[in-house]
Amino acid sequence: MALPDYQSIMLPLLKFAGDKQEHSNREAIDHIAEFFKLTEEDRKELLPSGQQYVIDNRTAWARTYLRAAGLLITTKRSHFKITDIGLQVLQKNPPMINVKFLNQFPQFVEFRTVRKEKDNHEEQEEVGANLSQTPQELLEYGYQKITNDLAQEILASIKLCTPRFFEKLVVELLLKMGYGGSLKDAGKAVGQSGDGGIDGIIKEDKLGLDVIYIQAKRWEGVVGRPEIHKFVGALVGQRAKKGVFITTSGFTKEAQEYAKTIEQKVILIDGGTLTLLMIENDIGVSKIISYDVKKIDSDYFVEE
């Protein structure tokens, strides 16, 4: 089933705390997962950053909003309980609790105003937009969209460059990822007729204990098994054990399966992976702005 949005979690979470007992954040997450009958796959769905489970994040934001409205209170690190105001809300048996409902509490309005999200974000919530996404999710998915758009722009630019430039780009990227030494002595672009299907050679490490052979092709169609077979043949001719095949397009399923069964270690990198590696390693891109997302250090506020 679809994961519940953080506003849908608010009422079940408050009812869970309605026993007036202290509960841990972990207990709350497990209760919400059971309440909504989430599968193990649902529980393990991650945010784009891969740093947190989606259900954990949404439960945490539901708890944050309820606490901001004065319905819950933090008792100690990672623990909470219901307040008298929260009990009064439950006695009225509301059909649901959401951001609009919480706006009746002055401290919640102040909380929202401080975060400078009331005017724009609240209007979206009232018309039903982005109800499933917490502020952190909006940030992460927004970042993901920017990255994906940038990746497409990079790929389009690569396709306009010469094959020689593409080979140089690939070697430079691998160097930036930690292979070899300097651009001068670690990467050698071959790219000539009769090169046996090899476009570049790079040291695996700075000492040159082993080498990696590179095939870099700007293809429009997908790369099939025959092309990978030719590359492997070139590796055998060089008595090489390792190779990287990079393309601006993609690989057929047969090509991917073949690469897994051969004796040589051949890594296949498609256009999407290539552009993301370039972004990650600052190849062909420049940073314009960065944001540090922080969370409260609960230990700081614990008195000895």
User: What integer is the mean pLDDT of 100-122?
Assistant: 74
- Is 302 contained in some domain? no
Task: Determine the Cα–Cα distance for residues 169 and 176; give it in Å rounded to an integer.
Answer: 10
Which domain, by its residues, includes 246? Answer: 156-280
Query: What is the separation of C-alpha 54 from the centre of its chain, rounded to a whole number of angstroms?
Result: 12
User: What integer is the mean pLDDT of 232-240?
Assistant: 88
pLDDT of res. 269: 95
Contacts of 166 (CB under 8 A, 6+ apart): 158, 216, 218, 248
Average pLDDT across the chain, whole number: 84
Whether 161 contacts 216, CB under 8 Å: no
Size (the chain), residues: 304
- Is 15 contained in some domain? yes
Alpha carbon distances (Å) from 217 to 39, 170, 222, 274 = 42, 10, 11, 12
Domain shared by 94 and 200, yes or no: no
Instruction: Give me the DSSP letters along 247-264.
Output: ESS-B-HHHHHHHHHSSS
- The secondary structure of residue 216, as a DSSP letter, is E
pLDDT in tens, 124-171: 444 344 556 788 888 888 888 888 888 888 998 888 888 888 888 888
Q: How many domains is the chain partitioned into structurally?
A: 2
pLDDT of res. 124: 44
pLDDT band per the 50, 70, 90 thresholds, residue 123: very low
pLDDT of res. 89: 97
The CATH number for 124's domain is: 1.10.10
The CATH number for 167's domain is: 3.40.1350.10
- Is 138 contained in some domain? no
Angle of CA points 101, 294, 286, to nearest 5°: 115
Domain shared by 91 and 173, yes or no: no
